[in-house]
A and B are shown apart, each in its own frame.
Chain A
Amino acid sequence: MKQNLSCIIVDDDPVSRKILERLCITGNIDILAQFPGALEALPFLQQQCPDILFLDIDMPVVSGFNLLDKLDTHPCVVITSGNTEYAVTAFDYTVTDFLKKPVTADRFKRTIEKANDYISARPEKKDNNNLVLKSDGKFIRLSSSDILFIESVGDYVKYVTPDKKIIVHGTLKGVEESIKDLNFQRVHRSYIVNTHFIRGFDGNALQIANYLIPVSKSHKTEIIKQIKSSGRI
């Protein structure tokens, strides 16, 4: 089943937020949150990554552009502004669309078509050392350096960090592809480990934090080589 797109709305004008809210509801777009300013939105965007960010520019204290400057990576951005003079700068930020206020239903539909095109053509959601995972309908940003190991559980994969477990739909093969340049190694058909956290190896299992992760015969030679070269044990 096709999942709804998700979004957040950042605008200091309550009427404009209401208009966008209604247009999103009509267009089956899930609104994860609404913020009256960029400062309020920043902590949310550092933790989660919605599909679309509806962003006003002229806001008190921190402008929409300043907010984009503060983000390492950003979702599909739709600028909503009454001032077309911002359009040129907006496209320098590679935004998906510029929605001039006041917004009409017809124009909004075209914006969503553009956003859909952008999202479906977008590569794996990964930026430098961060992974963006979709779990329970929400996007969660996770630093790869926080992951102890990743476990396959049926049609799902579980990302385990020292303080949380995040379960997402997918396969370890798909995960391997998205983290191939990072410090991870497949050690079993059901496990990928962050080699940085290996604390011991008894010949059959790796000790990672308080977990014992089984190592399959086919991966044993590679993991021993890895441990020796790192000099950690």
Chain B
Amino acid sequence: MRHFEFSQTLDASFLNEVYEDDLAYAVEIFESFLETLPAGLLQLEEHFQRGDIAAFRSVAHRLKPSFSYVGLTGITNQMASLEKSCLVIQRLEESATLYQQVVKDIQASIPAIKLEINRLKSHIQLEAKP
């Protein structure tokens, strides 16, 4: 199979390390990410609205590594900052700017993830042809 070049809008180097040319596996994880992300973001928002710092931090922590698995290592770092901020703030509003920025960046990245799934699938299909 020809080597697949991950998109440079994502962390291609990390994705190569994780998937080692197993593209079907990459598709599986990317799709699983898109499937589970809305529920995670909803939980995050609910805890934010309730002002529950511990629960908010716990969800941020849980979601954090999954962004790297789809090449969004920058968002993993932002989530880490968000998680860390929860240890020093008294009220969640203090992290509102950072939180809103992270959510905005996540939403902006979703089309790139969908595009990458399509690219991966096309590559797999093309390579499967005799």
Contacts and interface: CB of A to CB of B under 8 A. Distances in A.
A104 interface: yes
A60 B36 CA distance: 17
B33 to A, nearest CB: 5
Interface stretch (A9-17, A168-176, A196-204): A9-17
A18 interface: yes
Contacts, number: 58
B18 A18 contact: no
Contacts of A12: 62
Nearest to A108: B18
Contacts of A82: 61, 64-65, 76, 80
A35 to B, nearest CB: 14
B81 to A, nearest CB: 13
B127 interface: no
B39 to A, nearest CB: 9
Most buried by B among A15, A16, A18, A102: A15
Interface residues of B, number: 24
Contact of B65 (A13, A26, A105): A13
Interface in A16-60: 16, 18-19, 22, 26, 58, 60
B95 interface: no
A16 B66 contact: yes
Nearest to B19: A105
B32 interface: yes
B10 interface: no
B17 A106 contact: yes
Contacts of A19: 18, 29, 69
B62 A13 contact: yes
Interface in B5-19: 14, 17-19
B36 A15 contact: yes
B65 A16 contact: yes
A104 B68 CA distance: 10
Given A13-B62, A15-B66, A105 B18 contact: yes
Given A15-B69, A16-B66, A18-B32, A104 B18 contact: yes
14 contacts: A14-B32, A14-B36, A15-B33, A15-B36, A16-B65, A19-B69, A22-B28, A60-B55, A101-B65, A102-B66, A102-B68, A105-B17, A105-B18, A105-B19
Given A15-B33, A18-B29, A105-B19, 20 more contacts: A13-B65, A13-B66, A15-B29, A15-B69, A16-B65, A18-B28, A19-B18, A19-B29, A19-B69, A22-B28, A26-B22, A82-B61, A82-B76, A101-B68, A102-B65, A102-B66, A102-B76, A103-B65, A104-B18, A105-B18
